[in-house]
Amino acid sequence: MIKLNPKLTVTIEYMAIAFGAAIMAIGIGVFLVDAKVVPGGVSGLSMGVHYLTGLPVGLMIWVLNIPLYIWGVKELGKEFGIRTFVGFTLNSFFIDFFRGDIPGFSFIRLQDTTTIKNLQENDFMFLILIGAALLGLGLGIVFKFKGTTAGSDIVAAIMQKRFGVKPGMAIMITDFFVILLAGFIIDFKDLAGDRSAVTLTFYALFLLVIAGRLVDIIMDGFDYARSVNIISDKNEEIATAIMDDLSRGATAIKARGIYRNIDSEMLTTVVTLKELSKLLNIIKKIDPNAFVTVSNVHEVMGEGFRKRI
């Protein structure tokens, strides 16, 4: 395995954080702001302020994150790190950049393109799905490379430290109240257009689910391997076939069958999705009565499997 220079590794990680922040910014600034569907957290709160005052969303995200960042450093220590500052700063910059709210770049305004306008008018659900996908994908990349975008992440970490509240629950509570607040603002300012504020609030909750799931996928990865446990009277033949036909290893674990109260061995092996059907056919051919369980595997570290980033 090739080992990268530590400085090069850090550079790649910061580039990835910047890339993730840009993707996330497109999802928020181009697809969600003018749709009046808020993603929760500081981003959603900043969108609410934008609807009330007209101030740029990215600028408000940065301003609101500064006190949270200072609070986080005091509560969580220096390990909270510069990556968080870089993450929310880049995200804020890219949101206003793509929306044309940065002086000198007013010509960009991707939210005013024909494609986005057409989606807003004719396929609103697909618009929100794309926004959620970009938000989740970008945030997942930022997290994957050890960065954060501050906001409710800081609140969640502090609530966990002080009160023992699980981070996922803390983020859900925070985002829920932010979405409700934004809904009231949209209703108060009569910004919902053809859709009611309640409808937009439900869209926002739907957005949270999709984006959250995509973050999990980016962090954990799509299932790309399976763990297989095999209990058979012909373990040696099956193990030999696994090694010869699949070029995979297998481990024999001593076990005791409770039903028959006899000592036996259980084979366990890990194969790729493509190899799974072949393995099951091998087992069925050797011992049709074998007891087999198959489990999802998110991560495999070792020879014969690709390494996750």
Provide the H-helix boundaries in the chain. 6-25, 41-53, 57-76, 81-98, 114-122, 124-144, 152-163, 167-188, 197-220, 235-245, 273-286
CB atoms within 10 A of CB 29: 31
- pLDDT tens digits, one per residue of 257-291: 777 777 888 999 998 877 888 899 999 999 999 99
**Type of residue found at 38:** V
304: its two tokens = 């014969």
Adjacent-strand bridge partners of 295: 227
| Nearest CA-CA partner of 234 in 275, 278, 295, 291 | 291
pLDDT score for 1: 42
pLDDT score for 288: 92
- pLDDT tens digits, one per residue of 89-136: 999 999 999 999 999 999 999 999 999 999 999 999 999 999 999 998
Radius of gyration of the chain (CA): 25
- pLDDT tens digits, one per residue of 143-188: 888 787 888 777 776 776 777 766 556 777 778 888 888 888 888 8
Q: Domains plus CATH for the chain?
A: 6-220 (no CATH), 225-297 (3.30.70.120)
pTM above 0.85, yes or no: no
| Nearest CA-CA partner of 209 in 154, 275, 133 | 133
Which CA distances in Å does 50 have to 61, 83, 298? 10, 26, 40
- Residues in the chain, overall count: 309
pLDDT score for 98: 96
268: its two tokens = 């366990």
Looking from the CA of 197 toward its CB, the CA atoms found within 13 Å total: 14
